Amino acid sequence: MKYQERALRLTAALAIAGLVASQIPMRGQTALGSVQPPSGGQPADGYLSGNSDNSGSFLGIKGLTNRNAITGVALGLLGLGAYSTILDSRAVGAAAGGAASGLNGAMIAGASNQPIYDVLKSKPEDFSETVRLIDSAEQVNLLREDHPYTFFAPSNSGLSLLSATQLAQLKDPSNKSALVSLIKRHTVSGRYKISELLALKDGTTLETLSGDKVTVHNKNGILTINNILVSQNDIAASNGWIHPIEAPLQEP
């Protein structure tokens, strides 16, 4: 942009200088040649007088005077400057439009018309095990409610930290109440984006739907909940936000 502005300023200066120069009277062998008056005397002043132009011939070209050449160059420079300005304004407009389009695309990507459960189910590579636990606990309707929730979702890799025996116990129908508590322990009433969690005072506690409280820590920009790392990723749902965590939240 700076180089374009300088070029435009230089163009304008040259055009003005050319226009001014074209009005300066010229005598004798002006610039690149002269046109002798019909009487054969000395060339007249270079002012235009009626239809005559005694500013001198340009490079000896018949019918082309210095004044014509200077004026043509000046007008050409003005035209070039105007054309550059139009191109520059179009480029700026296109860049602004592209930025707006990119922003709009980001907003669309961040939005979702699906509730928390369905968003989790749409990402089996990350949350298939959590979805199975929700199904076993029969808490699908909870995470589909039209109520603002923040769900801390254990990733598949996080749940893999549990032994096969622990997972089997959680899925055992006789332990359903424990599994229900586990799902609710990962659910907080209200919408909390990552930026809002980071803005909380270090050590703030949040009450979960299980009645248990979880503690949010923010140390040097590292966000944890009950000392479990929270991936700083906002996953939008129609009824709240999902934040992946690196391990399940255990009972206090």
Asked whether residue 171 falls in the same domain as residue 97, the answer is no
For residue 207, the domain's CATH number is 2.30.180.10
Instruction: Give whole-number Cα distances, 238 to 177, 178, 206, 242, in Å.
Output: 27, 27, 21, 11
Pick from 233, 122, 140, 138: nearest CA to 242: 233
Residues 84 and 30 in one domain: yes
Say how many domains are in the chain. 2
pLDDT digits (tens, 9 = 90+) for 206-230: 999 999 999 999 998 899 999 999 9
Domain boundary among 110, 144, 159: 110
Closest alpha carbon to 235 in 117, 156, 134, 129: 117
Unique residue bearing structure tokens 């409610």 = 145
The verdict on 193 and 79 lying in the same domain is no
Q: Is residue 252 part of a domain?
A: no
My answer on whether 135 and 232 are in the same domain is yes
Residue 174 scores a pLDDT above 50: yes
Q: Is residue 90 part of a domain?
A: yes
What is the domain range of residue 75?
A: 2-110
Q: How far apart are CA 167 and CA 130, in angstroms?
A: 11
The reported pTM is 0.56
Query: What span, in angstroms and rounded, lies between the C-alpha atoms of 111 and 121?
Result: 16
Q: At which of 80, 110, 140 does a domain end?
A: 110
Instruction: Indicate whether 24 pLDDT > 80.
Output: no
Q: Which of 6-10, 158-162, 199-203 has the lowest mean pLDDT?
A: 6-10
105 with 121, same domain: the answer is: no
- Would residue 7 count as lying in a domain? yes
Say if residue 172 is in the same domain as residue 213.
yes
Q: Are residues 90 and 155 in the same domain?
A: no
- What does the buried/exposed string (b/e) look like for 28-52 if buried means 16 or more CB atoms within 10 Å of the residue's CB? eebbebbbeeeeeeebbebeeeeee
